[in-house]
Structure 1
């Protein structure tokens, strides 16, 4: 932790970068790949690399949420309150997600002509219950707003993380701490990899109407069973491992960490650019875990683990613009795709998938989409996300005061 503030330097940069990668990816997908505009190097890269942004989000989430567990383990303290953990996670993600999910569900029927049959209602219900990630029929909980698929995987990872630490506390508290405890966490990652393998070895996906040309549910069949909660928890748990390293390194500050973090950033960027230029695919890694696992995720974890101990780099990366973008990034993620398709519907029909060829029109439309998305995300954070988070923290305080207040006669 930086001694001059309470922020983990580098975390805002990773969050903002992941947000921009996903946003620009979905904009670039609207470009005709065979056109002169599609030949642009940046368009070609962003056309393919959206998944890397999702992978960065998962590593970052695991990193941030695991730190209190590592601190308690090293200090010989009990497992942190799972009630507080659940309240904070629900406050941070559920209201914004439910609003975007519900608005999208209504507009998918009223504006985009989706058929409100039993399957669409089932998908919507699975999204509300945060369990859409367990089957290909519900993987995309609504039509139109595709990026909402990842929220279910995020919630499953929220649930699995305390289970991993519960086992680690049962084995290690008071006996195994420091680096040996981090090595023991590798067993948790291995167990998640084993569950991922069992899932994709056992689950059969209906081959009928399989492929993105059959819409989101057809596309879901190309992702599952390799896209499953255990595989995404592997990414999450890799971030948790990085958090364990950062907790042990937090007392150090040295230019060596600037060098390590910068090298990891450059290597990460090289991977993204190379695979982006090659194009296509979900970049499966070990045991077909997506997004070049484990190298890509370990590099992101290295950035997160070392940047807080840097002398200069962390402050350069986490500037005010980056910090603000990171703050509203959840809103950007859950709203940008819906905004994009509304702009396509009512203003720029060329912003359909792989059809845009006019550079000027593309830049103008992309700028408008980005500006509207940022405005919605800022309003969402200011008037819903931040108040709910603040309420949850006050609720925690009231509960603590109630449990510590002496009994009266």
Structure 2
């Protein structure tokens, strides 16, 4: 769930801070809104048994693939500073700064949700210390039987956090692939995704505690993240101008960019991949056991859906009037709040309005849950998420200003005085978005 701070910025605007040529994509904020609503819809459909409706049911149930879109968005936005550094030949982004922004974006609002849900939601009350600790630290996927009522969707946020830890390692592994080796970056990432498909089999053979689902670990979901990493590499070529020299794309890459920009083609890929995902090839669309081959198939189809949805938004100049409308931009900013709150709100809607779970009333439950979730998410953004991000930004700005002041006053001092070398924001990440991607979850969690 990476936000893009889209206010008052036109589509395809260009970042110019510190000489960066990375484009700004407000249309992705609108896409995040669609993904967040898709996640909410699939949970409502599951808990009102709409997923059992012939034909329509599997379509609603498979909206759990919104998680693939969220993961692809996360990979795209967080990988861009590394791509920018590779193309410009500058040093890698600051890892400490990266982790600070991830922590401040995720945990403040998340801790509020976890605390209130476990203390106030009747179905979640009575949680022991293990449940508290696993939920507060986002390690639910590693600790058995700790996904609690009102918070079951947080497994995917746990996967997201694991990806945050993994991303710098991928960045360092590809550090030498720059200059004349830039063209090798996409094949290496695709190879990583292909190899990770084997996790469906490897994970099930691990000696883990009963109740731990290894398919919900980050290694199994890497193809969804890699879809975003690959798109970031494509965007890096477009941002660099790809006119001459070492950044000129090869014939295959130029062809891939043309295909990615082809809206009818990407729409066709999306429709076919999603239709296949709605069949048994990708496993059940509700609760049920998933075989290794079904899980691997779902990962491939989800990656295709995520890429097909995002690529035309990145490889074309627009206009994207609906996605960049005020309403969609606002919903995109609130999408993290919608994600972390909607399951708890859904649990409250049933008794509050006298509706029996799994007995229908899908439209009524959907309208109420969506309205309440948007309202709570807007409050979360205004009073928790944005203030904490502003606090971190102001803190870093003051620190940089002090460092510049000391450097200018001490003529003989080295230019890096006042800032640890590994902690200074590089050119690649000085203007990186400071928000984090809103993750989704499957309806059957």
Structure that is richer in helix per residue: 1
Q: 2:68, 2:306 within 8 Å by CA — same for their partners in 1? A: no
Of the three residues 248, 251, 267, the one matched with 1:265 is 267
Aligned pair in 2 of structure 1 residues 398, 287: CA closer, same or farther (>3 Å)?
Answer: farther
Cα displacement (A) at 1:368: 1.8
Q: 2:31, 2:323 within 8 Å by CA — same for their partners in 1? A: no
Aligned pair in 2 of structure 1 residues 204, 406: CA closer, same or farther (>3 Å)?
Answer: closer
Q: 1:257, 1:307 within 8 Å by CA — same for their partners in 2? A: no
Q: What's the secondary structure of 1:11's corresponding residue?
A: helix
TM-score computed with the length of structure 1 as normaliser:
0.80
Alignment of 1:379-398 (within 5 A): 379-398=379-398
CA distance in 2 between partners of 1:295 and 1:101 (Å):
32
Cα displacement (A) at 1:378: 0.5
Q: 2:28, 2:323 within 8 Å by CA — same for their partners in 1? A: no
Q: 1:328, 1:378 within 8 Å by CA — same for their partners in 2? A: yes
Q: 2:269, 2:304 within 8 Å by CA — same for their partners in 1? A: no
Q: 1:203, 1:225 within 8 Å by CA — same for their partners in 2? A: no
Aligned pair in 2 of structure 1 residues 16, 78: CA closer, same or farther (>3 Å)?
Answer: same
Of the three residues 355, 358, 362, the one matched with 2:359 is 355
| Structure 2 match to 1:172 | 177
The superposition leaves residues 75-109 of structure 1 with CA deviations (integer Å, 9 ceiling, x where unpaired) of: 1111100111111111211111111111111123x
Moved more, 1-10 or 376-385: 1-10
CA distance in 1 between partners of 2:269 and 2:195 (Å):
28
| Structure 2 unmatched ranges of 5 or more | 1-10, 16-22, 243-256, 411-445
| Structure 1 match to 2:214 | 225
| Structure 2 match to 1:184 | 188
State the aligned residue count: 374
Alignment of 1:18-33 (within 5 A): 18-32=35-49
Q: 1:242, 1:302 within 8 Å by CA — same for their partners in 2? A: no
| Structure 1 match to 2:138 | 130
Cα displacement (A) at 1:50: 3.7
Q: 1:226, 1:288 within 8 Å by CA — same for their partners in 2? A: no
CA distance in 2 between partners of 1:276 and 1:99 (Å):
35
Cα displacement (A) at 1:266: 4.5
Of the three residues 16, 24, 43, the one matched with 2:33 is 16
Aligned pair in 2 of structure 1 residues 40, 387: CA closer, same or farther (>3 Å)?
Answer: farther
Of the three residues 157, 163, 166, the one matched with 1:157 is 163
Aligned pair in 2 of structure 1 residues 333, 33: CA closer, same or farther (>3 Å)?
Answer: closer
- Aligned CA RMSD, in angstroms, stands at 3.2
| Structure 1 match to 2:324 | 318
Aligned pair in 2 of structure 1 residues 186, 256: CA closer, same or farther (>3 Å)?
Answer: closer
The superposition leaves residues 1-47 of structure 1 with CA deviations (integer Å, 9 ceiling, x where unpaired) of: 8147863154224312211111111111133459xxx637545521x
Cα displacement (A) at 1:181: 2.3
The superposition leaves residues 117-163 of structure 1 with CA deviations (integer Å, 9 ceiling, x where unpaired) of: x3xx212211212222224433x2x3233112211110000000110
| Structure 2 match to 1:296 | 302
Moved more, 241-250 or 74-83: 241-250
Q: 2:141, 2:214 within 8 Å by CA — same for their partners in 1? A: no
The superposition leaves residues 154-190 of structure 1 with CA deviations (integer Å, 9 ceiling, x where unpaired) of: 0000000110111111x3245522x222223334435
Moved more, 363-372 or 52-61: 363-372
Higher relative contact order (CA 8 A, sep 6+): 2
CA distance in 1 between partners of 2:260 and 2:30 (Å):
14
Alignment of 1:35-114 (within 5 A): 39=53, 42-46=56-60, 48-108=61-121, 111-112=122-123, 114=125
CA distance in 2 between partners of 1:262 and 1:92 (Å):
36
| Structure 1 match to 2:413 | none
Cα displacement (A) at 1:308: 2.7
Aligned pair in 2 of structure 1 residues 270, 316: CA closer, same or farther (>3 Å)?
Answer: farther
Cα displacement (A) at 1:370: 1.3
CA distance in 2 between partners of 1:159 and 1:199 (Å):
19
